[in-house]
Structure 1
Amino acid sequence: MENSMELMRFIFSSSRQTFILAVLAGIGSGLCMVGLLALVNQALHNIGEVTVLSMGLFTALLAAMVFFRVNSTVLLTKLSQKSIAEMRMRLSKKILAAPLKVTERQGPHKLLATLTDDVAALANGIMRLPFLFINLAVISGCLVYMLWLSWWLFLLALFFIFAGIMVYRLPESRALGLLNEARGFADNLYQGFQAICSGTKELKIHRKRREMFFNGPLQEAAQGYADKTISGTRYYSFAGSFGLLMFFMIIGFLVYLFPSWANLDAATLTGYVMVFLFIQGPMEVVVSAIPELAKTSVGLRKIQKLGLDLNLEEEGKLETPDNVQLIESKQWQTISLDSVIHSYYRELEDTHFQLGPIDMSINRGELIFLIGGNGSGKTTFAKLLLGLYEPESGNIKVDDVIVESNNLESYRQLFSVVFVDFFLFEQLLGFEDAEIDALAESYIEKLQLNHKVKVEDGKLSTVQLSQGQKKRLALLTAYLEDRDFYVFDEWAADQDPLFKRIFYTQILPDLKAKGKTVLVISHDDQYFDIADRYIKMDSGKAELSEHMPEIFMDKETA
Structure 2
Amino acid sequence: MTLSHRLGLFSFLQEETGGLDLKMAILVASSGVANAISLAVINASVEALGKGGPSWQHFAWFALSILLFVYALRHVLHQSTRIAERAVCNVRVRLADKIRRCDLVAIEAIGGGDIHARISQDTAAVVQTARPLFAAAQAVVMILFTLIYIALVSPAAMLLCLALIGGGAVIYLKDRRAYESGLRAASREVDGMSQTLDGLLRGFKEVRINSRKGDDVVAEFESRASRVRDIRIEVMILFSNNIVFVELFLLSLLGAIPFVLPLLTDVFSGSETKIVAAILFFFGPLGNVMGMIPTLSETNVSVGNLRALEAQLDAALARSPESEARPTHDLSGFSRLDFVGLRFAYHDAEGNETFAVGPVDLTLRRGEVLFLVGGNGSGKTTLLKLLTALYPPQTGTILLDGAEIGAGNRQSYRDLFSAIFADFHLFEKLHGLARIDPDRVAALLRQMDIAHKTGFADGQFTNIRLSTGQRKRLALVVSYLEDKPIAVFDEVAADQDPPFRHYFYHTLLPDLKAAGKTVVVVSHDDRYFDAADRVLRMEYGRLVEIAPPAPGEPGHDTRGG
Query: How high is the TM-score relative to the length of structure 1?
Result: 0.93
Q: Once structures 1 and 2 are overlaid, which stretch shifts more, 367-376 or 351-360?
A: 351-360
Query: Which residue of 283, 287, 290 corresponds with 1:287?
Result: 290
**1:288 corresponds to which letter in structure 2?**
G
Q: Structure 1: any 5+ residue segments left out of the alignment?
A: none
State yes or no: 1:160 paired with 2:168.
no
CA deviation digits over 1:344-364, x for unaligned, max 9?
1368x9852111112222111
Partner of 1:6: 8
Q: CA deviation at 1:10?
A: 1.1
Counterparts of 1:4 and 1:140, CA distance in 2:
23
Deviation of the 1:512 alpha carbon: 0.4
Identify the match of residue 200 of structure 1 among 193, 201, 204. 204
Deviation of 1:156 after TM superposition, in Å, equals: 2.8
| Match in the other structure for 2:444 | 443
Q: 1-side partners of 2:44 and 2:452: how far apart?
A: 82
Q: CA shift at 1:316, angstroms?
A: 4.9
Specify the SS of the correspondent of 1:332: coil
The superposition leaves residues 111-161 of structure 1 with CA deviations (integer Å, 9 ceiling, x where unpaired) of 221122111111112122221221111111122222222334322321221
Deviation at 1:272, TM superposition (A): 2.3
Q: How does 1:251-330 map to 2 (within 5 A)?
A: 251-259=254-262, 262-316=265-319, 327-330=329-332
Cross-structure match for 2:222: 219
What CA distance in whole angstroms lies between the structure 2 residues aligned with 1:100 and 1:485?
20
Cα 1:160/1:18, change in 2 over 3 Å: closer
Q: What SS class does the counterpart of residue 45 from structure 1 fall into?
A: helix
| Cα contact 2:549–2:556 (8 A) shared by 1 | no
Name which of 57, 71, 80 aligns with 2:84.
80
CA contact (8 A) 2:4 2:11 kept: no
Contact 1:171 1:239 in 2 (8 A): no
Percent identity of paired positions between Structure 1 and Structure 2: 29
Post-superposition offset of 1:465: 1.6
Q: Cα distance, 1:264 vs. partner?
A: 2.6
Contact 1:356 1:541 in 2 (8 A): yes
Q: CA deviation at 1:486?
A: 0.4
- Mapped contact 1:338–1:394 kept (Cα < 8 A): yes
CA distance in 2 between partners of 1:370 and 1:178 (Å):
51
* 1:429-484 CA-partner distances (Å, limit 9, x unpaired): 2221252x110111111111122222122221211221101100000000001110
TM-align CA RMSD: 2.6
Query: Once the 2 structures are TM-superposed, how far is the Cα of residue 286 of structure 1 from its aligned partner?
Result: 0.9
Q: Which amino acid aligns with 2:129?
A: G
Match of 1:465 in 2: 466
Supply the distance in 1 between the matched residues of 2:497 and 2:342 (Cα, whole angstroms): 37
Residue 341 of structure 1 deviates from its aligned partner by: 1.5
Partner of 1:53: 57
Q: Which residue of 2 aligns with 1:364?
A: 366
For residues 408-419 of structure 1, the aligned pairs below 5 Å read 408-419=410-421
Aligned to 1:483: 484
Conserved? CA contact 1:21–1:72, under 8 Å: no
Give the Cα separation in 2 of the matches to 1:285 and 1:243. 11
**2:529 matched to which residue of 1?**
528
Matched, 1:420 2:419: no
CA distance in 1, matches of 2:166, 2:262: 23
Q: Distance in 1 between matches of 2:316 and 2:436?
A: 40
Shift in Å, 1:208: 3.1
Structure 1: distance between partners of 2:442 and 2:556: 39
CA distance in 1, matches of 2:525, 2:21: 63
Name the stretch that deviates more: 522-531 or 249-258.
Answer: 249-258
Deviations 1:246-302 (A, max 9, x none): 222122121124325631333433332222222221111111111111111111111
**SS of residue in 2 equivalent to 1:165:** helix
Aligned partners of 1:20, 1:352: CA distance in 2, in Å? 57
Q: How many residues are paired up?
A: 551
SS of 2:48's partner is coil
SS at match of 2:367: coil
Native 8 Å contact 1:19 1:76 kept in 2: no
Judged with a 3 Å threshold, the aligned counterparts in structure 2 of structure 1 residues 158 and 66 are, in CA distance, closer, same or farther, namely same
**TM-score between both structures, scaled by the size of structure 2:** 0.92
What SS class does the counterpart of residue 494 from structure 1 fall into? coil
Q: Pick one of 69, 72, 79 that aligns with 1:65.
A: 69
**AA in 2 matched with 1:508:** L
Tell me the alpha carbon deviations over residues 211-250 of structure 1, each in whole angstroms, 9 at most, x when there is no partner.
Answer: 3322x11112222222222221221121232133222212
Say which of 389, 392, 398 aligns to 1:390: 392
Q: Which amino acid aligns with 1:259?
A: P
1:191 maps to which of 173, 190, 195: 195
**Quick one: which of 126, 143, 167 aligns to 1:139?**
143
How far apart, in 1, do the equivalents of 2:336 and 2:4 lie? 59
